[in-house]
């Protein structure tokens, strides 16, 4: 059996109120009521508007603060990147200056060499470094290693195809024949001191040593040219009755900060 469709029948009081409002509006009798409602509800509306506006401003300020914080973080990251790039550029410029000085020295002395970069260091002290040049770059064992304008910093100890181990002048096993620059006296020997210093030894007592004098290589090793800078005298030790005197040396360059070097080659 089919169901009858439902019909919505408005309540009689709703119809009555609607008709009454229509009549009162047409006769203009609702004006006082409307004005009264406006007077009563206007303050409430203003308060509500201020509350809504306050909420809107609060959220706007919070969003603005978040935007400012995000922008500050972005700017700090960009500034850090700029500082890193500048530090990298300064290092490259410093290395280029050193390489130019090394090449200028080679040109003045008509020597040949290959530029290398330090890729590894001794962890305990300044005794050895690993560089990115080997037999493929004509590097030979015993070859002198220079930094800057003719400054001897070590000799090649071991050679592989593309890398070499450099024994620095501060290494315990290092020894190089030297003399005091601008003096014609007998040569001495510079030895390393546990990776932290150098000492000029086997200098006869009759030879004159003074602080700040420069020590250079002597013409004693066929692989090491004479006149290479080694260090400056910082402290002299003279033992009464001893045949020889010795002196502590300060290196010309900081050996623990070497980055680019030149190894002398014969070809």
**Range 47-71 average pLDDT:** 71
Instruction: State residue 130's pLDDT score.
Output: 95
Give me the DSSP letters along 28-85. TTTHHHHHHHHHHHHHHHHHHHHHHHHHHHHHHHHHHHHHHHHHHHHHHHHHHHHHHH
Instruction: State residue 257's pLDDT score.
Output: 82
Same domain, residue pair 82 and 71: yes
Q: Which residues contact 146 (CB under 8 A, 6 or more apart)?
A: 102, 105, 113, 152, 153, 228, 261, 262, 263, 264
Q: Over the stretch 115-126, which tens digit does the pLDDT of each residue have?
A: 999 999 877 667
End-to-end CA distance of the chain: 115
**CA–CA–CA angle 198, 247, 151 (5° rounding):** 45
High-pLDDT (> 70) share of the chain, %: 76
Per-residue confidence at 15, pLDDT binned at 50, 70, 90? low
Per-residue confidence at 131, pLDDT binned at 50, 70, 90? very high
Domain containing 199 equals 112-265
CA distance 220 to 259: 28
Per-residue confidence at 48, pLDDT binned at 50, 70, 90? low
Q: Do residues 182 and 167 lie in contact, with contact meaning Cβ atoms separated by under 8 Å?
A: no
Residue 159 has pLDDT above 70, yes or no: yes
Instruction: State residue 196's pLDDT score.
Output: 84
Residue 225: CATH number of its domain: 2.40.10.340
| Whether the predicted model's global pTM rises above the 0.85 cut | no
CA distances from 199 to 97, 127, 170, 178 (A): 29, 14, 9, 11
- Pick from 221, 260, 257, 255: nearest CA to 102: 260
Same domain, residue pair 20 and 127: no
Instruction: State residue 155's pLDDT score.
Output: 96
Q: Do residues 218 and 229 lie in contact, with contact meaning Cβ atoms separated by under 8 Å?
A: no
Same domain, residue pair 99 and 117: no
Same domain, residue pair 132 and 238: yes
Same domain, residue pair 129 and 239: yes
Same domain, residue pair 219 and 242: yes
């Amino acid at each position: 059996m089919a169901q009858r469709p439902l019909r919505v029948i408005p309540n009689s009081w709703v119809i009555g109120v609607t008709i009454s409002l229509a009549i009162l509006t047409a006769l203009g009798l609702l004006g006082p009521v409307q004005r009264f409602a406006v007077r009563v509800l206007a303050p409430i509306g203003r308060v509500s508007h201020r509350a809504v506006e306050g909420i809107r401003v609060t959220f706007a300020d919070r969003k603005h603060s978040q935007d400012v914080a995000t922008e500050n973080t972005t700017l700090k990251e960009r500034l850090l990147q700029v500082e890193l790039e500048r530090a990298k550029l300064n290092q490259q410029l410093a290395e280029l200056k050193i390489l130019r000085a090394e090449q200028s020295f080679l040109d003045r002395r008509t020597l040949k060499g290959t530029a290398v970069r330090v890729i590894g260091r001794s962890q305990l002290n300044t005794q050895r470094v690993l560089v990115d040049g080997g037999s493929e770059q004509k590097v030979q064992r015993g070859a002198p290693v220079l930094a800057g304008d003719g400054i001897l910093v070590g000799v090649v100890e071991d050679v592989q195809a593309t890398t070499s181990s450099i024994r620095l002048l501060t290494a315990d096993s290092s020894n190089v024949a030297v003399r005091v620059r601008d003096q014609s006296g007998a040569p001495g020997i510079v030895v390393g001191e546990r990776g932290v210093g150098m000492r000029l030894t086997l200098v006869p007592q009759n030879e004159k040593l003074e602080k700040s004098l420069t020590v250079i290589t002597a013409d004693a090793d066929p692989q090491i040219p004479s006149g290479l800078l080694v260090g400056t005298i910082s402290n002299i030790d003279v033992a009464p009755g001893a045949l020889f005197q010795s002196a502590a040396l300060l290196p010309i360059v900081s050996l623990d900060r070497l980055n680019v070097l030149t190894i002398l080659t014969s070809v």
